[in-house]
Amino acid sequence: MELARTAAIVTGAASGLGAATAAALAAAGATVHGFDLGPAVAAVRDAPAGVRYADVDVCDPAAVRAAVDRAAGGGEPLRTVVNCAGIAPSQRILGRRGAHDLDLFARVVQVNLIGTFTVLTLAAERIAETTPDRHGQRGVIVNTASVAAYEGQVGQAAYASSKGGVVALTLPAARDLAQQGIRVMTIAPGIMLTPMMRTVSPEFRAGLGAGVPFPSRLGEPGEHAALVLSIIGNDYLNGEVIRLDGALRMSPR
């Protein structure tokens, strides 16, 4: 699928995987509408050419619908959606302070799974209104899960549950949207060098990287962005989850 002179949406676009992906899509010729929370958007300096940021909470369906409508109504067909928005708090089911905070569990699922589904659904509605390309394709939606969906560690019950839901959503979403010419894929990153990871010591990061079989390092956000571009460019990729993890399999801790 061609990206030039099309519109794209990236959630969590103000930093990390989302920022790298938004920049890569814009460099490929798309007009990118980057959704993120207000403080994150306000903190952006020197936005890449072709990226327009908007204060959008993926947990607010009305705000998502309005932002999707703006992205789809700008004169270029909406073809691409990449869901990167997410949170990753850690808490054991039973810890020193008692039982897992039930509201926290619900919040993680709300952001990571329901937020992803909300953007996917409302964007697909607008993508389906566009004229298909010569191959009958109207768009591509790429969601972001995590290797925690498969090997959740101690304290990741909420996070692993939410990302496991994103994995399980992939195939039925692809089947549901096939008749509209919309592909759905998911990337499951391993340990990536996100802004949060940059706050820990180099020694700690090196220890994490050493546990990755090959290459023995943390993943770069640009590698996630490159995989998104590869998915968009390969029309036969659909309904699948791709691990981006250097063959890492997470230990219990």
Distance CA 202, CA 2 (A): 39
Band (pLDDT 50/70/90 cuts) for residue 201 is: confident
Q: Parallel, antiparallel, or unpaired for β 31-36 and 7-11? A: parallel
Q: Check if the beta carbon of residue 249 is closer than 8 Å to that of residue 151.
A: yes
159 is catalytic: yes
Catalytic residue among 53, 150, 159, 236: 159
Report the predicted TM-score, pTM, of the whole model to 2 decimal places: 0.95
Mean pLDDT in residue range 163-186:
98
- Mean pLDDT, the chain, as a whole number? 95
Alpha helices (H) in 73-220, listed in sequence order:
102-109, 115-127, 148-151, 157-177, 195-198, 202-210
CB contact at 8 A, 182 and 124: yes
Model confidence at 138: pLDDT above 90: yes
- Asked if the model's pLDDT at residue 196 lies above 80, the reply is no
